[in-house]
Amino acid sequence: MPTISGVTQQIFGRKPGRGLLLTGLAIILAFVILAVFAPWIAPYGPTERSVPSSLAASPQPPDRNHIMGTTELGYDVFSRIVWGTRIVLYVVAFSAILSMAIGVPLGLVSGFYGGKLDRILSMVMDSIYAFPGIVLALAVASVLGPSPTNAAISLSVVYVPTFFRMVRGQVLEVRESLYVEAAEALGYPNTHIMLYHVLPNVAPTILVVFGLAATDAILTEAGLAFFGLTVSYPSPDWGLDLRVGLRYLDQGAWWATLFPGIVITLLALGFALVGEGLGERYAIRTER
Amino acid sequence: MESVVRLEDVSVHYYTFTGVVKAVDRVTLDIPRGEFVSFVGESGSGKSTLALALLRLVPPPGRIVSGRIVFNGMDLLSLPEQKMRELRGKSISMVFQDPMTSLDPVRKVGEQIADVYIEHGVTTDMEEALKLAREALEMVGIPGDRVNYYPHQLSGGQRQRVLIAAAVALKPSLLIADEPTTALDVIVQAKIMDLLEDLMKELKMSVILITHDIALAAERSDRIAVMYAGRVVEYGPVDAIIENPLHPYTRGLLESAPDLWGEKRIKGIPGNPPDLRNPPRGCPFHPRCPRRFDPCDKDEPEYVKVDDRIVSCHLYTR
Ligand SMILES: Nc1ncnc2c1ncn2[C@@H]1O[C@H](COP(=O)(O)OP(=O)(O)OP(=O)(O)O)[C@@H](O)[C@H]1O
Ligand SMILES: [Mg+2]
């Protein structure tokens, strides 16, 4: 079984993809810090009227007190971004972990035991996979109703097949290997083969898919938020702020859309770099 | 004579998209306890399939379609899977052809041997299992401190020794070795064969060796079974077979083994083995047989007992 020091060695060791991996992790870490320490980092509350009421009727450009400007209701854009990190990370982490927790075991079992179960599962997963992610997530989220948790669940529906397909493919490959045949000839139970041969071999793949799913989840979450399917205004959420900001973009208030857009892209980039870095390290080809 | 395993009319078929491959076809024979028996035959004659059938590990789309396999008095084909799994690695073990890929590259060899003790309930303590693994390594001629090596740190011959150590760790009564030395050079090959013979005596095992090299089989075995197109065409004590092969195919194999029959020119057997999806009528060997006559392309020869040998050939059916 992999040890803690083995894992750190795996991530930080001088191997291909190290730069990508570390950059990605640094970006993600920065956002995690924002989320955890939001009350100390954000100068204002997310729905605090931070400008004198005489100015509150129109969005104000960035100045010394509001480095990213304010919205038409006088909310501080920077503070809303900081507080909004919490929702985004919650939804993204929840959906990526949930889809992994469902997709990985299903892929393992399906690839390992084959037969009828495998055929049915593959068919179901393939048909989900065939839908465009955002459309599927929107459909599921509208059925479940707006809430961050429901948004996370609808995103999971999109990514379960990705985990399933990658893991199942790897399992089929490992299952063909001679050392699995040798393990069977020594009378080892399936649990041994899963735990010692299949899982260690699919672990890097799982990490790469996790990075991909999280990247996609950030963008799709922003989409769901845009349509009001995560939180309701004025709760802070990057995607939602982007849409509200659009309303007064034509008044020249570029800051209310630009900054939320930048952080969405940046966090997505962080996860993408992690996925790419791991992919390069383990020479894993991915589709999606 | 007590047998360690007895095959009765065993057939194994692969159900492929292009047809049913009769990889093992109604094989009947007895493996005496404590003997070294080799299965010899060309590529595709069904040797590995037969070996896997003994462990009930024939992969899909293959299936054991008929027959009985009696091992130490147990009918293996009617055992529940759980019981069969307990036998594998404990009473019947197998080592495979390619020591490079038969070990998990990401785990230490000691752990991989220790697994045998843990999975078969000898101990639940990894430390204890590793100690036993160390002893098992020494038994196959590898210094015990190599338990901490990864497979890539060992040579091909050493890896095969590790696999053998795991296979004999629980002192099975039958060890099956499927071309254990084809991936290794001649000198290492001889040493591995010596090791198998030593272990056989020390642990009072029976050994089934699978090989296409009849010279190797002749040198090491007590008995030889010659396979052709899924059939065992001749089976008997090694000396008798070498001195006086009964089946024309056995003779052909011996004639293509230069070191065995002295100065004679290598002859080889003209033609190719048949397609097992659609074997020829009658004796499967008749299209290539230099001695075929009337009944060969019509009736399939039954097994005939000639002294302590069995042979399936019309030359002896009356
Ligand atoms: N998984 C499989 N699916 C379909 N056919 C198979 C499968 N495995 C083996 N066969 C067929 O069964 C027959 C016997 O194969 P087997 O591997 O037992 O022969 P072998 O004597 O061990 O050959 P070799 O010396 O090449 O190892 C061959 O015709 C082969 O094509
Ligand atoms: Mg073979």
**DSSP-derived secondary structure for B106-137:** TS-HHHHHHHHHHHTTS-S-HHHHHHHHHHHH
Report the gap between the CA of B151 and the closest CA in chain A (Å). Answer: 12
Tell if the CB–CB gap between A179 and B90 is shorter than 8 Å. no
Residue A57, in any domain of the structure: no
- Contact between residue A122 and residue A168 where contact means Cβ atoms under 8 Å apart: yes
Domain identity same for B206 and B192: yes
Domain identity same for B108 and B150: yes
pTM of the model: 0.78
What the block records as the tokens of B215 is 């010279």
Which residue from B302, B231, B211 is spatially nearest to B23, judged by alpha carbons?
B231
Q: How many domains does chain A have?
A: 1
DSSP string, A223-275: HHHHTT-S--TTS--HHHHHHHHHHTGGGT-THHHHHHHHHHHHHHHHHHHHH
SS3 B49: helix
Mutation pick from A179, A192, A193 vs chain B, by most beta carbons of B within 10 Å, is A179
Confidence of residue A112 (pLDDT cuts 50, 70, 90): confident
What the block records as the tokens of B83 is 């019981």
d(CA A114, CA A108): 10
- Contact between residue A80 and residue A241 where contact means Cβ atoms under 8 Å apart: yes
Tell if the CB–CB gap between B167 and A186 is shorter than 8 Å. yes
Chain A CB within 8 Å of residue B54 CB: no
Residue A235, in any domain of the structure: yes
Domain harbouring A225, CATH code: 1.10.3720.10
Residue A188: which of B60, B102, B119 has the nearest Cβ? Answer: B119
Q: Confirm or reject: Cβ of B290 under 6 Å from ligand 1.
A: no
Domain identity same for B86 and B183: yes
Q: Spell out which chain A residues touch chain B, with contact meaning CB-CB distance below 8 angstroms.
A: 114, 177-179, 181-189, 192, 196-197, 200-201
Residue B230, in any domain of the structure: yes
Helix (H) or strand (E) segment spanning residue A206: helix A199-226
Tens-digit pLDDT profile for residues A43-52: 888 888 877 7
Q: Confirm or reject: Cβ of B274 under 6 Å from ligand 1.
A: no
Q: Which residue of B has its CA nearest to A179?
A: B102
Q: How many domains does chain B have?
A: 2
Tens-digit pLDDT profile for residues A77-92: 899 999 999 999 999 9
Write down the pLDDT at residue A1: 47
Which residue from B239, B158, B145, B100 is spatially nearest to A179, judged by alpha carbons?
B100
Domain identity same for B87 and B122: no
Domain harbouring B196, CATH code: 3.40.50.300
Ligand 1 centroid, distance to B92 Cα (angstroms): 21
Question: Is the pLDDT score of A5 beyond 90?
Answer: no
Question: Is the pLDDT score of A240 beyond 50?
Answer: yes
Question: Is the pLDDT score of A283 beyond 90?
Answer: no
d(CA B231, CA B228): 5
Confidence of residue A8 (pLDDT cuts 50, 70, 90): low
CA A158 to chain centre: 12
Domain identity same for B86 and B179: yes
Domain identity same for B59 and B185: yes
Q: Confirm or reject: Cβ of B279 under 6 Å from ligand 1.
A: no
The answer to whether the Cα torsion of A93, A96, A99, A100 is positive or negative is negative
Ligand 2 centroid, distance to B47 Cα (angstroms): 6
Chain A CB within 8 Å of residue B83 CB: no
Domain identity same for B80 and B181: yes
The alpha-helical segments, DSSP class H, found in chain B are 47-54, 81-87, 109-119, 126-139, 156-168, 186-203, 214-220, 238-243, 248-255
Residue A4, in any domain of the structure: no
Tell if the CB–CB gap between A185 and B88 is shorter than 8 Å. yes
Residue B17, in any domain of the structure: yes
Of B171, B191, B214, the one marking the end of a domain is B171
Helix (H) or strand (E) segment spanning residue B279: none
Provide the residue range defining the domain that includes B115.
Answer: 103-171
Report the gap between the CA of B121 and the closest CA in chain A (Å). Answer: 11
Ion ligand 2 — residues with CB under 5 Å?
B 48
Tens-digit pLDDT profile for residues A114-138: 889 999 999 999 999 888 888 888 8
Tens-digit pLDDT profile for residues A221-238: 888 888 888 888 888 889
What the block records as the tokens of B106 is 């990401």
State the closest ligand 1 atom to the C-alpha of B49, by its place in the atom list counted from 1: 18
Q: Which regions in chain B score pLDDT beneath 50?
A: none
Domain identity same for B255 and B113: no
Domain identity same for B150 and B123: yes
ipTM for the predicted complex: 0.83
Average confidence (pLDDT) over A150-161: 92
- Contact between residue A100 and residue A92 where contact means Cβ atoms under 8 Å apart: no
Write down the pLDDT at residue B298: 92
Domain identity same for B207 and B133: no
DSSP string, A11-64: HHSS-TTHHHHHHHHHHHHHHHHHHHTHHHH-SS-TT---S-TTTTTS-----S
pLDDT, mean over chain A: 86
Question: Is the pLDDT score of A287 beyond 60?
Answer: no
Confidence of residue A61 (pLDDT cuts 50, 70, 90): confident
Write down the pLDDT at residue B262: 62
- What's the CA dihedral at A35, A40, A41, A42 to 10 degrees? 90
SS3 A179: helix
Rg of the Cα atoms in chain A: 22
Domain identity same for B261 and B178: yes
d(CA A224, CA A239): 8
Going from the C-alpha of A13 to that of each of A10, A16, A80, A279, the distances in angstroms are: 6, 9, 37, 15
Provide the residue range defining the domain that includes A129.
Answer: 35-45+67-282
Residue A219, in any domain of the structure: yes
Tens-digit pLDDT profile for residues A181-234: 899 999 999 888 888 888 888 888 888 899 989 999 998 888 888 888 888 888
Of B155, B171, B187, the one marking the end of a domain is B171
| Angle (nearest 5°) at CA B310 between B263 and B39 | 60
Write down the pLDDT at residue A12: 66
DSSP string, A126-170: HHHHHS-HHHHHHHHHHHH-S-HHHHHHHHHHHHHHHHHHHHHHH
Q: How many CB pairs under 8 A join A and B?
A: 62
Residues in chain B closer than 8 A to A177 (CB atoms): 101
Q: Which residue of A has its CA nearest to B106?
A: A200
Domain identity same for B161 and B115: yes
Residue B54, in any domain of the structure: yes
Write down the pLDDT at residue A288: 44
Residues in chain A closer than 8 A to B103 (CB atoms): 179, 182
What the block records as the tokens of B194 is 């010596």
